[in-house]
Amino acid sequence: MSRDPRGAAPPPSAGGAGYDNRTAAKARIPKAHQDWKIPEQYEIRQLIGTGSYGHVCEAYDKYNQRIVAIKKIHRVFEDLIDCKRILREIAILNRLDHDHIIKMLDICPPDDLEHFDELYIVLEIADSDFKKLFRTPVFLTELHIKTLLYNLLVGVKYLHSAGILHRDLKPANCLVNQDCSVKICDFGLSRAIGMEKQLHLQQLPNTPREIDAEDGTAGAASSLAAGPIVPHTQNLKRQLTGHVVTRWYRAPELILLEENYGEAIDVWSVGCIFAELLGMMKENVAFPSDRGPLFPGSSCFPLSPDHKHATDYKFHTRGNRDQLNMIFNILGTPSDEDIEELEKEDAKRYIRCFTRRDGTGIRDKFRGSSPEALDILDRMLVFNPRKRITVDECLEHPFFKGIRGIETIAKDEVFLQFELEPELDEMQLRKYFVMEMQKFHPDVRCDEVVVLGYIWWRRFQCRLDSNASRFVGHVDDGGDY
């Protein structure tokens, strides 16, 4: 499924060397990573990523004789919003099982379950990721690109069948190996669709870590790709969190803060990634230094506007590098019919402030691509999500004729119990982290006195609150309690 049946050669590696060569040439491990609190089973080899959440190291699993990535997350409980996102990512990975989704291999249990503030997550490692691949000077054939896109779409189809919206698909979150296999990673901003139908989640403030991710400073911590970056010569009722997907890959409905969005947001993101893949064909972009994202906006009103014009939406419509302007420059401004389908009146007024234009079009940018490739890209990047092609329609497209295989779907939709408890405190979060560890370490248990005693105390408080309500009701009715 992840290999091309017609025998296409693998694309050149962004890392340039296999595991044996990397191991032989690896730099000395920084002292800061020699004291990682991990089992003797794992031997740290080299740092491969760092960011606001922590660090990622390549390690050797001596028991299973394999190379892995270990992600150290520090200050887990410093911000409970961030903490819940970390828990959500771990819980989702624990419930997914697919060749094109990164596998979580272990959660190293801490010595002190009641007071730990660090997590060590063991995951599959990959040769590279799309972000690193895009920064190499190599060229790809359309057959390579077709295989990579197909594998990415198969992974997205599985996610959607499990009721998961990724919401943060971007090149750094698409791992790739030299055989063209693709694995989707980083589920910190993902949501279970079924859960959203039961919840009315308030839009949450942006945490410092999430702002870092938006600015691109935290991406490395999510990277599970071992290869180094080779730079260019030129450099349902849903009120969900505001910061979703790095702006260049964000669907218009997210930019406009639409509440009822769905699987189409991931299709848009895949389309933006596909466009960058097509830019790696020599027939489309002759010089690697001329490559880049399709919609490289420098601000994104109202989610992350230009700081000097944070409340001036008219500024963002006047031909600058705001994200929607970049989209409209290529795709054209939406029709009146599409504008009317927007949920919010202020969004409709905002869109009508943009200068009307037809857009330069996608086809002129990728003249060396086949008509089938251009057709599927055109249909992925449609402003109106209801008119956007679906993942299943993508996979059935003639572009994939000759390479399509059997696509598996999830047996059940993911259900996360803790999502039903929007106000989780630190102790409750610890309990849920331990429950996720138990999949790998069934003998791991919290101190029953602490956990069960806390649960008993919560229930007792609920009874007191309930009794108090009944008491107030009797008094109001003139009753005798």
Give dist(CA 168, CA 178) in Å, integer.
24
Give dist(CA 438, CA 433) in Å, integer.
9
Around 165, how many Cα atoms within 13 Å sit in the side-chain half-sphere? 26
Tell me the CA distances in angstroms from 359 to 230, 329, 333, 341, one per residue in order.
Answer: 33, 5, 7, 21
Could you say which of 106, 129, 168, 186 is catalytic?
A: 168
Q: Are 292 and 278 in contact (CB under 8 A)?
A: no
Q: Are 101 and 190 in contact (CB under 8 A)?
A: no
Number of Cβ within a 10 Å radius of residue 335? 11
Catalytic annotation present for 112: no
Closest by CA to 210, choosing from 237, 189, 226, 187, is 189
DSSP string, 152-170: HHHHHHHHHHTTEE-----
Residue 225 β-bridge partners: 126
Tell me the CA distances in angstroms from 99 to 96, 167, 181, 323, one per residue in order.
Answer: 10, 20, 9, 33
Beta strands 128-129 and 174-176, pairing class: antiparallel
Indicate the helix (H) or strand (E) that contains 105: strand 104-107
User: Is 365 annotated as belonging to a binding site?
Assistant: no
Give dist(CA 409, CA 407) in Å, integer.
7
Annotated binding residues: 72
Could you give the residue numbers annotated as active site?
Answer: 168
Point out the annotated binding site for ATP: 72
